[in-house]
Amino acid sequence: MSNIIKILPDNLANKIAAGEVVQRPESAVKELLENAIDADATTIELMIKRAGKALIQVCDNGVGMSEADVVLSIQKHATSKISSVEDLEAIRTLGFRGEALSSMAAVSQLEIRTERKHDEIGTLLRIDESGNVIKEKGSFPKGTCVSLKNLFYNVPARRNFLKTDATELKHIIDTFNKISLSHSNIHFKFFNDDELVFDYAAGTLEERIASVFADNMIEALIPVQEKTEFMNISGFIGKPSLLRKSKSEQYLFLNNRFVISKQINHAVFSAYANFLEKGDYPFFILFLEIDPHRIDINVHPSKLEVRFDNEKDIYSFILAVVKKSLGLYDLVPNMNFGETQVSTEKLRQNIFSETEKRDFSDRPVTSGKSSLTRTSFSDKEIDLLFHSLPEINPSPSFVTPHDPFQENEEQKTPVREIKSTHAETEEFPFIIQLHNKYILAQIRSGLMIIDQ
């Protein structure tokens, strides 16, 4: 009986491996942009056609590659980022696995043009439909330009499962914006079907946020800054007025790499607990700097997942910092009650001043017959005030409680018949102060007592 286990041929093995690295056009865009950043580029241009299905091209002005490096770059597990196990335990670059270009070469028509700054002649490497490697010499712009044509042309099943052009384009734009936010010192350009869509000039993080979102976006954000020996955190969190209905606008960068961490997202979410309603999510752009020895980014080929050696401490730290930032910011809306209309509303606070007894100068001045100047009245006037009250007849079912200190004596509440004329009550609209504590005022329905 013959053996049934066989070693797969290289071309088939590469296509299988490419399924994890290049899942859709956005995956290829991410890998190429990260390679350009690792090459110390200051200007990066991304060009796509048909949402990346026909063409994905990334050009940079980085260090470039020699002819030998270009040939090795398309081999499996070939990289310039790491060389030992120690390097793998302290990754400081965006790429390190050495799988991206080899995977792209297995599922697309790959072409690389590169030239180093001190070289007069560059190298062109092209892989045709048959998988043959073609090398040429020529003069090219300094840096590297990688083109992927007809993505998944030889994997019909994967190509058929791609979404519509609009959906794939949305994923590419999201990844482009995430990477551009993490490296605001690099000039990024995005071309879609030969049309310039985004042009992010190099600058500060605040300027990049304004370019990616809106010019006034900074006004809706709260700065976050905390440095310790353990870790550093910086960036911005959204004001409660900037709450979203999805998690799509939560940007977390670990050592300038966009990552997804449920623990950190939950820490920020918990800090907003008093401001969130069901279905609301906070907006944030946070940058964490942690010693690479204390994190593990080699979890998945996509390099989006991350593990920490002390997740509880990081969770508590981020929760405390975000709460502190929210607490330092005045979340009370600004209002101005003045007569003049201004573009920005502000709330004016009056300094508290202690008032003396019988001092009503801080209260509105009333007009008409009522006056607060009379604070003492004669017995006749008090009688007239209470004479205007309706007669109170006790209910037959009402039983007066007995005095515990008197035996078998029924206490009765004396009721006095009161008669008054309408003219008498109209003569004195009474406002009386009793014991410097209560104000008694006559109203149509009876008596109003105000406790000062």
- CA distance linking residue 7 with residue 92, whole number of Å: 35
Same domain, 200 and 92: yes
Mean pLDDT calculated for residue range 341-370 = 53
Same domain, 142 and 230: no
Query: In this structure, is residue 323 part of a structural domain?
Result: yes
Query: In this structure, is residue 267 part of a structural domain?
Result: yes
* Nearest in space to 259 (alpha carbons), one of 303, 292, 291: 303
- CA distance linking residue 282 with residue 275, whole number of Å: 9
Q: What is the pLDDT of residues 249-262, one digit of tens each?
A: 899 999 999 999 99
Same domain, 165 and 48: yes
Query: In this structure, is residue 78 part of a structural domain?
Result: yes
Count how many Cα atoms sit within 13 Å of the Cα of residue 288 in the half-sphere of its side chain: 27
Mean pLDDT calculated for residue range 340-351 = 50
Query: In this structure, is residue 119 part of a structural domain?
Result: yes
Phi/psi for 15 (5° steps) reads -65, -40
- CA distance linking residue 189 with residue 176, whole number of Å: 9
Same domain, 45 and 149: yes
Query: pLDDT class for 164, splitting at 50, 70, 90?
Result: very high
Point out the domain boundary residue: 328, 344, 361.
328
The total number of structural domains in the chain stands at 3
Is residue 29 predicted with pLDDT exceeding 90? yes
- CA distance linking residue 117 with residue 40, whole number of Å: 12
- CA distance linking residue 136 with residue 355, whole number of Å: 92
Phi/psi for 159 (5° steps) reads -65, -35
Q: Are strands 307-308 and 195-200 parallel, antiparallel or unpaired?
A: unpaired
Same domain, 234 and 310: yes
Domain region containing 379: 353-391+411-452
Q: Where are the alpha helices (DSSP H) in 299-394?
A: 311-328, 379-387
Q: Where are the alpha helices (DSSP H) in 350-421?
A: 379-387
Query: pLDDT class for 275, splitting at 50, 70, 90?
Result: confident
Secondary structure class of 236 (helix, strand, coil): strand
Point out the domain boundary residue: 152, 180, 207.
207
Q: Are strands 307-308 and 431-434 parallel, antiparallel or unpaired?
A: unpaired
Residues written for the chain: 452
Query: In this structure, is residue 343 part of a structural domain?
Result: no
State both tokens at 251.
């940007």
Q: What is the pLDDT of residues 62-120, one digit of tens each?
A: 999 999 999 999 888 888 877 778 877 778 888 787 888 988 988 899 999 999 999 99
Query: In this structure, is residue 399 part of a structural domain?
Result: no
Q: Are strands 257-258 and 109-115 parallel, antiparallel or unpaired?
A: unpaired
The reported pLDDT for the residue numbered 396 is 52
State CA 365 to chain mean position distance.
50
Same domain, 111 and 50: yes
Q: For residue 315, give the CATH number of its domain.
A: 3.30.230.10
Confidence (pTM): 0.70
Secondary structure class of 288 (helix, strand, coil): strand
Same domain, 245 and 183: no
Q: Are 144 and 108 in contact (CB under 8 A)?
A: no
Query: In this structure, is residue 244 part of a structural domain?
Result: yes
State both tokens at 74.
């398309």
Same domain, 196 and 52: yes
Point out the domain boundary residue: 185, 207, 229.
207
State CA 222 to chain mean position distance.
10
∠ CA 284-295-36, rounded to 5°: 70
The DSSP string of 88-108 is HTS--SS--SS-HHHHHHHHS
Same domain, 201 and 238: no
Query: In this structure, is residue 153 part of a structural domain?
Result: yes
Q: What is the pLDDT of residues 421-437, one digit of tens each?
A: 444 445 556 678 877 77
% of the chain beyond a pLDDT of 90: 45
